[in-house]
Amino acid sequence: MTNRFSRRNLMGVPAAELGAFLASLGEPPYRAKQLQHWICRRLAASFEDMSDLPKGLRTQLQSLAYLADPVVLDVHRASDGTAKYALQLEDGLVVEAVAMPMEGHTTLCLSSQAGCAVGCRFCVTGALGSGRNLRAHEIFGQFRVLMREEGLVGKGVNVVFMGMGEPLLNLSHLVEALNFLSETVSLRRITLSTAGVVPKLYALAKLPRRPNLAVSLNATTDEKRAYLMPGVARWSLAELIGALKAYPLEAGRRITIEYVLISGINDSLWDARRLVQLLLGLRVKVNLIPLNPDPRFLPGLVPPSESVINAFAAHLAAANLNVTVRWSKGLEVAAACGQLRGQLRVQAPSPPAP
């Protein structure tokens, strides 16, 4: 008797490969479109859910293939409705993803890596160190699971890659995942957040279709940025700003500049003035994010007072920058920006008994 570990995973398989697989079973070409529709748009959890496929084909698929969605290990739900999911991958690694109810829609925050090598001092994921890249089906699988668990199938959502990991260090798998996501979510509703991996920004710029871009800046001098974000210190602020100036933007789009405010480190009016100068000539909007503290992993780091935050924002606004203070959601369940950590590994699933 076959088991899951001898069957083919059809998650993350391009339409042409699905067609070839189904052709080997004697099925007509249109079956591949039906199958992909169920996987990418209807987000079916099993072949049995695919009601317009013949019963015989569904039975055959169950014996020869499977759909490898991450397994929900735990869900923590905050009073504001934010839900943080711990999701186990097939090799036992656990990543976290978040569903955030917003006014009129839900935003899903997905992870691109299990861990992160950038090592930002204000980020719990970075404090835990590097892990592996997630494959395309593992990235897309987070979306599928959250959409089903939150009752969002068929509804409009926004997607942000602001979870665990640096997306541009996993660009090839991320692009594959975007191809699947874009069948359900417009790329204008998907945002990729990067710490500023300059060569990969130029590679991203060459793609024919791109998601929205957010850049985690957080400092206005090279020295301070190297201290806060050692994993991207090899590229100067001048190089990063140069890449952003060269980045193609469609009409109506702006680059989001994310700036985590940390008391006594990057929150002075001198920092605000330098930030204005750095961003001259760029089509940007600025999100100021008060640090989400974690005494266990981020000792000694605290957010500024509300008055300091407001003064910093007011200076940017006075310079005609589009600025928003982003007060985090899900803080009470450690689901806010910079707080995702997952677990390095739990026991991998055992093969089913024959």
Catalytic residue annotation: 96, 337
Give the residue ranges of DSSP H helices in the chain. 15-23, 30-40, 55-64, 124-127, 136-149, 171-181, 198-205, 222-228, 237-246, 269-278, 306-318
- Contact predicate 263/292, CB 8 Å: no
The letter for the amino acid at 62 is Q
Q: What angle (nearest 5°) sits at the alpha carbon of residue 164, between those of residues 161 and 166?
A: 70
CA atoms of 254 and 109, how far apart (whole Å)? 20
What angle, 0 to 180 degrees and rounded to 10, lies between the N-to-C axes of helices 269-278 and 306-318?
30
CA 110 to CA 106: how far, in whole Å? 13
| Token output for 130 | 């590097």
Distance CA 259, CA 228 (A): 12
Task: Name which of 99, 94, 201 is nearest 152 in CA terms.
Answer: 99
Cα–Cα distance for residue pair 260/311, rounded to 1 Å? 15
Which three-class secondary structure state does DSSP give residue 63?
helix
Instruction: Give the end-to-end CA distance of the chain in Å, rounded to a whole number.
Output: 6
Tell me the residue type at 72: V
Q: Rounded to an integer, what distance in angstroms lies between the CA atom of residue 354 and that of residue 352? A: 6
Q: Please tell me the distance from the alpha carbon of residue 114 to that of residue 95, in angstroms, as a whole number.
A: 6
